[in-house]
Structure 1
Amino acid sequence: MKNIRVLVVDDSAFMRKMISDMINQSDHMETVDTARNGLDALEKVKRFNPDVVTLDVEMPKMDGLSALKRLMKEYPVPVIMLSSLTGEGTDSTIQAIEYGAVDFITKPSGAISLNIEEVKDQLIHKITAAATANVKQESRHNSVQTHRHQELLYEHSIVSIGVSTGGPKALQTLMQQLPQDFSAPILIVQHMPPRFTQSLARRLDQISHIPVKEAENGEVLKKGNAYVAPGGLQFEVKPMARSLVANISEPTIQHGHIPSVNQLFQSLANIDHYNLINVVLTGMGTDGSIGAQTIERHSNSYFFIAESEDTAVIDGMPKSLKQTVQVNAVLPIDRIAQMLSKLVQ
């Protein structure tokens, strides 16, 4: 494997050194240079043509968001944001992914962190994935594939969406296109830590025609509303009387994703008399595939949609779904809302 060349951008000399050292200690990546602000970063991206950029959100002269917008327009390159856990920091991070950042790393304890080593493994893993990211997504007609017609049997439907790397941007595209009279509840699992999912739900609510909120334990899931799984907790659905309710719980297994697409899908497989319409969007790994197999075995009215590799930032999760179950449609992100509206009508 060739070395992944990384440009590290942070206004703190301490952070630049810490991040650079972690990168250089890896066998398959190296720090090609560092930059102290957004203006410096633009010049060095042009000079060094790195494979990946790590970019601090908060910097003088030109902040991370401004630099990111320029980079995506002038020199598209996979970017990983470094974010604080403050409310402002989480909101800025969601905005950064909408602008085109591939992923983010949280600073464990503020702008200058003495325990940055805690995120070393996560940083290396995300840089490795970002190096293969599709940052020039293009929706092409030939990326639309319908594999087989699936008859949906029931009057009511549930839409579930699983997504990871690059998710906020994909979700924004999809949610903006759904009509105000959308007649099914939408359940969203986005791989994110606590606090960030709250910012994500708030942002999606601002740009959508339907209400979007972070799911709460025990609440009734209403048609025409979207519910985002809280970070650090698991999201399941349970029938109660004639309603469906959210079951939000502490994870019982500490490995795997929290929240987990598999766990949501597996809970839906136990719901009778609903059409289960399941969507897997951009993301690393295979989350959702095992749950999809459970739905395929136990439900008699379901439909699977995978995002096309042409628009997915990372094609891991959609590809895994296609390899695991019989997917009904493969669509670019800007065609999925139209399909969902058609299916739930």
Structure 2
Amino acid sequence: MRTRIIKVLVVDDSAFMRKLVQEFLSEHSQIAVVGTARNGEDALAKIRLLKPDVVTMDVEMPVMTGLEALKKIMKEHPLPVIMLSSTTTQGAENALLAMDYGAVDFIVKPSGTISLDLHLVKEELIQKVLHAAEATLRPNLIKPKVKNLYNSKKEPEITDSKYGGYDQQVILIGTSTGGPRALQEVISKLPGDLKAPVIIVQHMPPGFTKSLSQRLDQLSALTVKEAEEGDICLNGHAYVAPGDFHVNLNVNRQLTISLSKEPPVSGHRPSVDYLFDSASRLKGIKKIAVIMTGMGADGSKGLIRLSQTGSVVSIAESKETCVVYGMPKAAVATGLVTYTEPLNEIANRIVKLAEG
């Protein structure tokens, strides 16, 4: 069978960056850069002319920014777009906005707009282009109603490790490519009085997970925060693993979080496998493990470990709603997934399991 060649359009206002990205991508035998564009307006014209399979798009450009162009692309010529973002707080916000607008993924420029060290993310860029070509585009999510910050937050419920009638539980969620939008869909539907804490691993670099947690907090009845060393895991609260840190779960009288800089696991830090393995060592606690859209297999080894060591119920996002059916596919292949659910039903399943 003939290998499919992926046609890519590279969009950046810097001629140097266009050249660099083009050179990196062209090194892969399955990728052909069919053109470049210097701004969003130019990109739209080139898309109509060249009909690429994937677009890499800088966020900050004159004439028409990457975000403005992305909105038009998704309306007029929907196709997979990977955004190139800076490491600033505004860059993180823009990357999350891009996910809302329909971008498949993003790459962080290591040192700003003109990154002489872009080679540091070369392999990541190539892999994301390859996976983007196979991604399933999803229509923009309907924004959930923003919660009333004055009335919706409840007093935290603290549980101890006696567990009485075995009512302590923890919800573990792992995701990657397409995850920010998937998390928005699921977390926004969970009730503020959820009888469990939620621990989230989303593959993201430092700084971006803080913006993600703030955004989720605004959209959810849960209290959502970026996890910190020593956090007590409270019911009705969600904790997002910070970029470049693994999350350990520990229990004494209370369930708490500790952060680790141990080496990447399954190619990631934070890692879903690491979180699941940590949770597998907790005694007397029910675990609800959820694996959603993402490339690779992070989470499947941890799911095996969870299943060997205690009470666990697992949910995998169905292929039909995944942007990239990689992590859920690997989880299903273990034969240990309890439920396979479309994205819009995952929150309902979590609530039923937590109440059961």
TM range (shorter): over 0.9
Q: What's the CA shift for 1:325?
A: 3.3
Instruction: From 295, 309, 319, give the equivalent of 1:284.
Output: 295
Residue 217 (str. 1) matches residue 217 (str. 2): no
1:289–1:76 distance in 2 versus 1, CA, 3 Å:
same
Give the Cα separation in 2 of the matches to 1:129 and 1:35: 22
Give the Cα separation in 1 of the matches to 2:107 and 2:293: 18
Q: Counterpart of 2:294 in structure 1: which amino acid?
A: G
Does the CA-based 8 Å contact 1:164-1:282 persist in structure 2? yes
Q: Counterpart of 2:212 in structure 1: which amino acid?
A: L
1:319–1:254 distance in 2 versus 1, CA, 3 Å:
closer
1:255–1:290 distance in 2 versus 1, CA, 3 Å:
closer
Render the CA deviation track for 1:109-163: whole Å, top value 9, x for unaligned.
Answer: 1111222222211111111111111114799xxxxxxxxxxxxx93222100000
1:36–1:319 distance in 2 versus 1, CA, 3 Å:
same
Structure 2 residue matching 1:197: 3-state secondary structure = helix
Does the CA-based 8 Å contact 2:96-2:180 persist in structure 1? yes
Render the CA deviation track for 1:152-178: whole Å, top value 9, x for unaligned.
Answer: x93222100000111101001111111
Give the Cα separation in 1 of the matches to 2:117 and 2:261: 26
Give the Cα separation in 1 of the matches to 2:59 and 2:120: 19
Residue 320 (str. 1) matches residue 322 (str. 2): no
Q: What's the CA shift for 1:326?
A: 2.2
RMSD between superposed Cα atoms in Å: 1.7
Give the Cα separation in 2 of the matches to 1:212 and 1:136: 25
Which structure 1 residue ranges, 5 or more long, are not aligned?
A: 140-152
Does the CA-based 8 Å contact 1:201-1:212 persist in structure 2? yes
- 1:307 aligned residue: 317
Render the CA deviation track for 1:194-216: whole Å, top value 9, x for unaligned.
Answer: 11111111111111111111101
Give the Cα separation in 2 of the matches to 1:135 and 1:27: 25
Segment of structure 1 superposing worse, 34-43 or 184-193: 34-43
Give the Cα separation in 2 of the matches to 1:124 and 1:103: 12
For normalisation by structure 1, the TM-score amounts to: 0.92
Q: Counterpart of 1:212 in structure 2: which amino acid?
A: V
Give the Cα separation in 2 of the matches to 1:137 and 1:261: 27
Q: What's the CA shift for 1:61?
A: 1.8
Q: What's the CA shift for 1:322?
A: 0.4
- 1:131 aligned residue: 133
Matches within 5 A, 1:19-30: 19-30=21-32
Does the CA-based 8 Å contact 1:11-1:37 persist in structure 2? yes
Once superposed, which parts of structure 1, at least 4 consecutive aligned residues long, lie more than 3 Å away?
Answer: 136-139, 252-255
Matches within 5 A, 1:72-87: 72-87=74-89
Residue 55 (str. 1) matches residue 57 (str. 2): yes
Matches within 5 A, 1:147-186: 154-186=166-198
Residue 197 (str. 1) matches residue 190 (str. 2): no
- 1:270 aligned residue: 281
- Number of corresponding residues: 330
Structure 1 residue matching 2:290: 3-state secondary structure = strand
- 1:297 aligned residue: 308
- 2:153 aligned residue: none
Q: Counterpart of 1:126 in structure 2: which amino acid?
A: K
Instruction: From 228, 231, 246, give the equivalent of 1:234.
Output: 246
Residue 333 (str. 1) matches residue 343 (str. 2): yes
1:342–1:123 distance in 2 versus 1, CA, 3 Å:
same
Give the Cα separation in 2 of the matches to 1:253 and 1:17: 31
Give the Cα separation in 2 of the matches to 1:175 and 1:214: 14
Structure 2 residue matching 1:338: 3-state secondary structure = helix
Give the Cα separation in 2 of the matches to 1:208 and 1:157: 20
Q: Which structure is richer in relative contact order (CA contacts within 8 A, separation 6 or more)?
A: 1
Structure 2 residue matching 1:265: 3-state secondary structure = helix
Residue 256 (str. 1) matches residue 267 (str. 2): yes
Residue 344 (str. 1) matches residue 346 (str. 2): no
Render the CA deviation track for 1:295-316: whole Å, top value 9, x for unaligned.
Answer: 11111x2111000111111101
Q: Counterpart of 1:164 in structure 2: which amino acid?
A: S
For normalisation by structure 2, the TM-score amounts to: 0.89
Q: Counterpart of 2:242 in structure 1: which amino acid?
A: P
Q: Counterpart of 1:312 in structure 2: which amino acid?
A: C
Which structure 2 residue ranges, 5 or more long, are not aligned?
A: 142-164
Q: Counterpart of 1:188 in structure 2: which amino acid?
A: I
Query: How many percent identity over aligned positions?
Result: 48
Does the CA-based 8 Å contact 2:9-2:55 persist in structure 1? yes
Q: Counterpart of 2:223 in structure 1: which amino acid?
A: P
Structure 2 residue matching 1:179: 3-state secondary structure = coil
1:230–1:138 distance in 2 versus 1, CA, 3 Å:
closer
